[in-house]
Each structure stands twice: as structure tokens, then as C-alpha cells.
Structure 1
Amino acid sequence: MKKFIIPALFCLIVQFSFAQKATDMSTPKVSANGTIHFAVMDKAPVLEGCENAGSSKKQNKCTADKIETFIQKAFDKDIARSLSNDSVNNAVYVRFIINKQGAIENVGVRANNSKLKGEVERILKTLPKFSRGTHQGNAVTVSYSLTLQADRLLRNAVNN
């Protein structure tokens, strides 16, 4: 009987020593530069007109829709026409930082077409100020990312 207890105890000790620590999902990860991702904040920054959209999920959706509409309206029509004839990859990846005052910083755009990338980047730098984002009662710097559909963006830009 002792022959089985000692190996069994040894296996249990090894199992518990290599077990992974449980993560606390209630605490959002803060990046090295001190930013918190938009989706996990207490009160995420929103564009004007989205404050009364309802839940935070609805406010985030409203903000994303307003950003897309803003880009479509400001898009250079000549560039949109020239790009709509080309076969443009369907995804445009957008990311930027919203500082503690609600201003846009560090705009980054990833797209397969350099004209599309440049135009979206130019427009994003002119976005209006956001409301201040807060987490645990403090104003924070927020990272924001969004994926846009290039064909819809160009089609609506030409038609506006």
C-alpha cells in the first residue's frame, strides 16, 4: 500500500506545482504605454451624439458607425472612383489612440492599396474629439481598433 501512496502523492505535487494560475478577467490589461483597450473600459470615449445610445455596447457600435460615416463623407471622390475600379482587398484595419483629453494620436491604417491607406489615414487625423474615457474613476488613454470593409467604404464615398 505504501508503494502506491508515495508515487500518488508525488504525482499530485507535480500536478499542482505546474498548474496554471487563474487569470482575473475583471482587471483589464494595461499596455506598456499605459493604454487600455476601448472594449474593456468602465466608460469608453464616444463621439458626440452617441452618449445617449443606451448600453456601453450600443455606444461603442454608434461610435464605430459614426467613424465609418465620417470617413465616407470626407473621402476624396476622385480617389474613391479610381479605387472602386481596382480590385481592392476588402479589409481596412484602423487603429489609433484616444488621449485623456479625447484627441486622436498615433493613427495607423493597414490596407493593401497605398492610396486607400493614405486617404483613410488623412481622414482619421481630422476626426472630432471624443468624450474622455474613464476607468475606475480616472481619465485614461485608450487604444481603439476597427475593421472597415473597403468595398462598402468606397461605394458609399462615391455615392455621397
Structure 2
Amino acid sequence: MKYSILVLTLLLTMKGYCQEMEKVPFAVADRPPIFLEIEEDKKTLQRAFSSKLSTFVYKNFNTAIARDLGMTGRVRLSARFVITKDGSIDSVSVKTPHVELEDEMHRVLSLLPSVVGGRHNGKAVEIIYALPLVFQVH
């Protein structure tokens, strides 16, 4: 019983905290950013956004850079950025083993088409998004 009360208290506190936030994590937003104005439920919109974003990045990322750097095997990168209220990309940070791969991720993210910004509790909010990228170099 104490555990249930603790969990309920934490959930209510988190909900109250998120109501006041100007930047909201992707998974928490009531309506995530979208590429096309499609009326669907939250989970469907999240999957559609993530899928389209990943496809775009994999299609446009020049993986030959890693090969040119002498890397082999599995290469992992992680990008974190903010999708602003107007749908543009801002505050990009990339974790990667080489600065050249970081530059390439910045280049690819700068090519993204505009998106419709996310909403939470009926307000336009900035969305924090994390994007892992893993590819094989032969």
C-alpha cells in the first residue's frame, strides 16, 4: 500500500512538473512533433515521427566518413537536440568517436524538413529528442 501511494505521488508530481516545463521530453509530450498533419493517437504519432526521422538520417548520413577514418565494425553515435515550438532544430549535441562524424550529424540534421512543433497540456512546447545512430563499417 505504501508503495502504491509513493508511485502515485511520484506520478502526480511528475505530471505537475511537466505542466510547468517549457522543454518537454519527447515521450512525455501530449502531441509529439510531426512531419505531416495527421490526426492520430500519441503513440502512432511518436512512432511515425521517429521512423521518418531515422529513415531520413540513415538515408542522408555519409557512413563512408567512418571508413575513411579507418574505423571498422559497428559505429555508434548519439545526437540530442531540441525541436523548437516552430518546428526547427536547435541545441544539437552529438556524442561520437570522431569530430568528423559529429560534423556530419550536424549537416544531416540541418537538412531536415520543417516539422510541426509539439504540444503539451494544450500549449506549444520545445521537445527534447535523443537520436541514436548505429551503422556497420566494412
* Larger proportion of strand: 2
Compare relative contact order (CA 8 Å, sep 6+) and give the higher one, 1 or 2. Answer: 2
Question: Percent identity at matched positions?
Answer: 28
**Residues 88 and 112, structure 1, Cα contact 8 Å, conserved in 2:** no
1:58 corresponding residue in structure 2? 44
Please say which structure displays the higher CA radius of gyration: 1
Match of 1:38 in 2: 26
After the TM superposition, which residues 23-34 of structure 1 pair with which residues of structure 2 at under 5 Å, given as runs?
23=10, 24=12, 27=15, 29-30=17-18, 34=22
Point out 4+ residue stretches in structure 1 off by more than 3 angstroms: none
Whether the 8 Å CA contact 2:26–2:127 is kept in 1: the answer is: yes
Taking structure 2 as the reference length, the TM-score comes to 0.75
Letter in 2 for 1:22: T
- Tell me the alpha carbon deviations over residues 21-51 of structure 1, each in whole angstroms, 9 at most, x when there is no partner: 9322661644x982011110111112237x3
Task: Provide the residue aligned with 1:97 in structure 2.
Answer: 82
Deviation of 1:135 after TM superposition, in Å, equals 1.0
| 8 Å Cα contact 1:107-1:125 kept in structure 2 | no
Instruction: Report the AA paired with residue 59 of structure 2.
Output: K
Change over 3 Å in CA distance of 1:135–1:33 after alignment to 2: closer
CA 1:141–1:147 in 2, change beyond 3 Å: closer, same or farther? Answer: same
Q: How well do the aligned residues superpose, as a CA RMSD in angstroms?
A: 3.1
Contact 1:28 1:40 in 2 (8 A): no
Question: Whole-Å Cα distance in 2 between the matches of residues 77 and 104 of structure 1?
Answer: 22
Quick one: structure 1 residues 121 and 128, their matched pair in 2 at CA, closer, same or farther if it must change by over 3 Å?
Answer: same
Query: Aligned AA for 1:56?
Result: K
Q: Which residue does the alignment assign to 2:3?
A: none
After TM superposition, the score normalised by the length of structure 1 is: 0.66
2:53 paired with 1:67: yes
Tell me the number of residue pairs that the alignment of Structure 1 and Structure 2 aligns: 131
